[in-house]
Amino acid sequence: MRAAHFCESCGKVQPPAPTDYFSYFGLPRKLNIDTAQLEREFYRLSRKLHPDLYARASEQEQEWSTERSSLLNDAYRTLRDPVARTEYLLKLEGVQLEEQSKAATDRARESGGEKKQVVPPELLEEVFELNMQLQELKLSKQMGEAADERVVRDLTAAKQGFEARLSGLDQRLQQTWAAWDERSGQRHEGDAESRKALEAMVEVLNTRSYIRNLVRDVNAALEA
């Protein structure tokens, strides 16, 4: 269903209706999307909502067009980015990661039990150790010492490893998309396959943020 941005008979901009980003672009709730098509649609709508076109419209219409165009920008920015798109879908489907994490902390406090970290402890160790190394490198550079060649070599190797892991995770993410999209059309309330796909997305995203940071930080350290 395409959201009605304009009146069908007179072409006037319509008041913003509560809608999600997918239906805003007339897309089904699927994760594999044609981003070239999305971009074209974005530009087409942006032109039609351009404030200049509403300079002489009623105040009400001006307001509606501004609201619609800010929604348009948010929707486009979210949907064109693979990770933001996945996170957005999770939110729409009621998977609230931050809420879950907070609730787990509350439970641990009340029961005196343990809050399980969502990623393996070895990954946290690895992230922590690497950050320690990077910090040392930064410090020695600040002291005007030449970077230790061995350290630089190690980091360059580590960087390649992280990049490979990141692209591995992105492939995994795509697989979860496929699993989700496949159910589209036959999805019913509490569909187990769909749930599984959503959970798999969460798992990939949980790890991905750490690996993405490592790639970013190692690159910054090597370039500095």
Partner 1 sequence: MAYSDKVIDHYNNPRNVGSLDKSSPEVGTGLVGAPECGDVMKLQIKVNRETQVIEEAKFKTFGCGSAIASSSLATEWVKGKTVDEALSIKNTDIVRELSLPPVKIHCSVLAEDAIRAAIRDWKTKQEQTASKPVETKA
Binder among 97, 152, 179, 200 for partner 1 (CB under 8 A): 97
Is residue 115 a contact point for partner 1 (CB under 8 A)?
A: yes
Contact between 111 and partner 1 per CB under 8 A: no
Instruction: With CA atoms as reference, report the closest residue to 177 among 116, 90, 118, 77.
Output: 90
**Residues in region 34-53 near partner 1 by CB under 8 A:** none
Interaction between residue 109 and partner 1 (CB under 8 A): yes
Give the residue with the Cβ less far from partner 1, 43 or 128: 128
Taking the complex as a whole, the smallest distance from the CB of residue 74 to partner 1 amounts, in Å, to 16
Q: What is the DSSP string of 173-219?
A: HHHHHHHHHHHTTS--TT-HHHHHHHHHHHHHHHHHHHHHHHHHHHH
Q: Which two tokens stand for residue 140?
A: 């020695």
Tell me the angle at which helices 59-80 and 35-48 cross, rounded to the nearest 10 degrees: 170
Smallest distance, partner 1 to C-beta of residue 50, A: 30
User: Which of 139, 209, 220, 224: binder of partner 1 (CB under 8 A)?
Assistant: 209
Based on CB atoms, which residue is closest to partner 1, 34 or 125? Answer: 125
Task: Tell me the torsion sign for CA atoms 119, 120, 124, 127.
Answer: negative
Among 125, 136, 148, 154, binds partner 1 (CB under 8 A): 125
How far apart, in Å, are the Cα atoms of 65 and each of 8, 10, 75? Answer: 16, 15, 15
Residues in the chain: 224
Residue of 127, 151, 169, 200 interacting with partner 1 (CB under 8 A)? 127
Tell me the Ramachandran region of residue 199: left when phi exceeds 0, alpha when psi lies from -120 to 50, beta otherwise.
alpha
Asked if residue 110 binds partner 1 (CB under 8 A), the reply is: no
Residue 190 contacts partner 1 per CB under 8 A: no
Task: Please report whether residue 169 would count as binding partner 1 according to CB under 8 A.
Answer: no
| Neighbour count for residue 58 (Cβ, 10 Å) | 10
102 is a site residue for partner 1 (CB under 8 A): yes
Interface with partner 1 (CB under 8 A), residue from 48, 159, 210, 222: 210
209-220 burial, b at 16+ Cβ within 10 Å, e below that, comes to ebbbebbebbee
Q: Of 131-160, which residues contact partner 1 (CB under 8 A)?
A: 131-132
Site residues for partner 1 per CB under 8 A: 97-98, 101-102, 105, 108-109, 112, 114-115, 117-119, 121, 123-125, 127-128, 131-132, 205-207, 209-213
